[in-house]
Chain A
């Protein structure tokens, strides 16, 4: 249903690199926390830290504010804005736990992922 045009297929590390490289997202200037991104199958895990809108990738941390669990294709679709995180969550394609409001902030990164 989304009107967003299709973007090039990426891997999760490429998408996260683009998010980090783009730097601060002004609309997230008030947001801080850490996403735990769990990609299944495969058991790959990344930690994306956001400090007042500025994203960085972290090594393993003890604490995350929310975890987002899904397959790689769905994560890329969400990161690129092709798939709506809320409907993916409601459908059961994506499992979110922790701070759901912070999880939804992920949509603010979509414009920078090509």
Chain B
């Protein structure tokens, strides 16, 4: 089945099929109907007279709906097909599929149509493993309904399949013996519902919800600010981000009716502390309700005790929550898992930022207990070796995460000679987040909690941390901050993009920030499309290594924001120009990461193959870029606009963002391109490309390049 796939989703239910709409799961093909981290269909194949039809075309109508146009196989010699087969699928709590078969000929036809169905109920973590199931699979037919089930003690999951048209239902699926008149049509709707523990996962099925979802998406887009610009690709990138954010909305069980950004489609449709917080921060000026739900959900799940298995500690904010069989039976720790050292200070940063943006003190009062617990976690549990820096070392030695920072691959925290560092690791950006969290909470303590003593304590500890950090992490010979201090107390001396986060948080001294900016604009870190995760020339550098040299759009959005914070608006504009130009080559959707090859070498950004698209914080990157370009900051109940834009298009380019929501109600922002950046003009880049990129034609056309 290997080949292009089509994914549609709603909440944490998603369907991945081939381009004909069929599902045939294997170890190399992680396809199926998934909900609550379980695969409810692993086989779903439509055949006509024993043959699988060929694909004419496939349309992703919306993120929750797809349509497949098929004709019967006619072998290698072209023969006019006499049948049209249209499958239209919409996902909801399960999915519904409308199948229409049209007889295009002038004679009646008889057909045997079959839908093969099977479910392996694999946990999402098992999908690519060949692990045997510990429970029993079963299936039954009753009153025209096929039930595929799995039972492991009290853990019961079922897939329920029915058809509106009369069907012959057996344990392998549904079949139909049809007689269709000349130019006639037959249709049916198949409902595939899922059941969790004997109860429907959600009342109703997919098809009945479809009009509501369409309205919901329209309302979502209408509620966001309107963007106008004479650099036409920017409008497309912006709309793409908003639609993708809508698709990424996930309703947590603990905040009914609210939605937060899940980390990525399709495999990370769940709450992730770090990803949900950063995406909420990026999206704050556009859809602030995401931040509100994120805060409330993460607060509900805040750690309450020491639990080695889950890496849980009192006050700690979760890393990841899963609902599948392995989490349920504690064979994986994600119920939830707390292995992230940065999510807790990031939670505090979001609390203050949301409160400031929306002029909403109530949420700060509501979450005072949780915020104080988070501050206490930083002091009481965040520092494992007592050196005064928040670090991480997994309690769960078997399945816990090795690296509990945003660069969470096992080999991301390397010395300049390429060797690995030892745990516990105190990465530099986490110290920045802690500094920022303390400064922000000092303001909250003074203004909302009426606790000036706490405010003073936090300000003192933040100032002390900043002074110590600038002394201990600075590497004069390399002209930048170390990536981390490791368990042996050694400076992890690779040059990495993490230094940009230190500007975002404000922990870097002014003179040191200047040197960091200079370094990020140097060819070792600057690829021409963005700042690499690791500098060329470092021992671990690899332009296609996950965190070892690739360019991450979300990373760059934080870096650009940090540069602007310190007054380096030209450099910020350069970063923004580079990444937004790259977005054009990716059909307006920035990927999680792309290769760190030099722009002059490849002429176009080379896609790094990742599991998820869209990825939440890559989707949010253009939104934070816009905020940085326009210099949007809340000041009381007013919106401060201080635009400094790169020259986006011929003649300078202009940008309007209308109806920005916040504590001021709605406000507009305008800006005109002023900053010359020495990023190669997109048009010139496009002309330089002759072949090789599959999407180049589309991208160039989309950018208005002839």
| A residues lining the B interface (CB < 8 Å) | 1-4, 26-27, 29-30, 81, 84, 86-87, 90-93, 95, 99-101, 104, 107-108, 110-111
The residues of B that contact A29 with a CB separation of less than 8 Å are 369
CA distance A24 to B86 in the complex (A): 61
A30-B369, A104-B300, A104-B301 given; name 16 further pairs at CB < 8 Å. Answer: A1-B309, A1-B333, A2-B307, A2-B309, A3-B308, A4-B307, A27-B304, A81-B305, A87-B335, A90-B155, A91-B154, A92-B153, A92-B156, A100-B253, A100-B256, A108-B304
Q: Mark B134-167, 1 if CB is under 8 A from A, else 0.
A: 0000000000000000000111100000000000
Check A92/B197 contact, CB under 8 A, given A30-B366, A84-B335, A87-B330: yes
Distance between A9 CB and nearest chain B CB, rounded to angstroms: 21
Q: Check: B329 CB closer than 8 A to any chain A CB.
A: yes
The residues of A that contact B335 with a CB separation of less than 8 Å are 84, 86-87, 90
Contact (Cβ within 8 A) B153 A91: yes
| B residues lining the A interface (CB < 8 Å) | 153-156, 197-198, 253-256, 300-301, 304-309, 323, 327-330, 333, 335-336, 366, 369, 373
The residues of B that contact A111 with a CB separation of less than 8 Å are 305
Closest residue on chain A to residue B255 by CB atoms: A101
CA distance A2 to B323 in the complex (A): 18
CA distance A30 to B365 in the complex (A): 10
Partner of B197, one of A27, A95, A107: A95
Check A107/B255 contact, CB under 8 A, given A87-B330, A91-B153: no
Contact (Cβ within 8 A) B155 A92: yes
Closest residue on chain B to residue A103 by CB atoms: B254
Partner of A104, one of B156, B254, B305, B328: B254
Contact (Cβ within 8 A) A26 B369: yes
CA distance A3 to B310 in the complex (A): 10
The residues of B that contact A4 with a CB separation of less than 8 Å are 305, 307
The residues of A that contact B256 with a CB separation of less than 8 Å are 99-100
Which among B198, B304, B327, B336 has the highest number of chain A CB atoms within 10 Å? B304
The 7 listed contacts between A and B (C-beta, < 8 Å) are A29-B369, A81-B305, A87-B327, A92-B198, A101-B254, A104-B254, A108-B304
Check A90/B323 contact, CB under 8 A, given A1-B309, A95-B197: yes
Q: Is the interface of B mostly helix, strand, loop or mixed?
A: loop
Contact (Cβ within 8 A) A91 B254: no
Contact (Cβ within 8 A) A91 B329: yes
CA distance A107 to B336 in the complex (A): 13
CA distance A29 to B449 in the complex (A): 15
Which among B154, B255, B306 has the highest number of chain A CB atoms within 10 Å? B154
The residues of B that contact A91 with a CB separation of less than 8 Å are 153-155, 328-329
The residues of A that contact B306 with a CB separation of less than 8 Å are 3
Distance between B628 CB and nearest chain A CB, rounded to angstroms: 35
CA distance A90 to B196 in the complex (A): 9
The residues of A that contact B156 with a CB separation of less than 8 Å are 92
The residues of A that contact B328 with a CB separation of less than 8 Å are 87, 90-91
CA distance A90 to B154 in the complex (A): 9
The residues of B that contact A107 with a CB separation of less than 8 Å are 304-305
The residues of A that contact B327 with a CB separation of less than 8 Å are 87, 90
Partner of B154, one of A1, A27, A93: A93
CA distance A4 to B304 in the complex (A): 13
Contact (Cβ within 8 A) A87 B154: no
The residues of A that contact B336 with a CB separation of less than 8 Å are 86
Give the 8 A-B CB pairs with smallest separation, nearest first. A92-B154, A90-B328, A101-B254, A1-B330, A92-B197, A1-B309, A91-B328, A100-B253
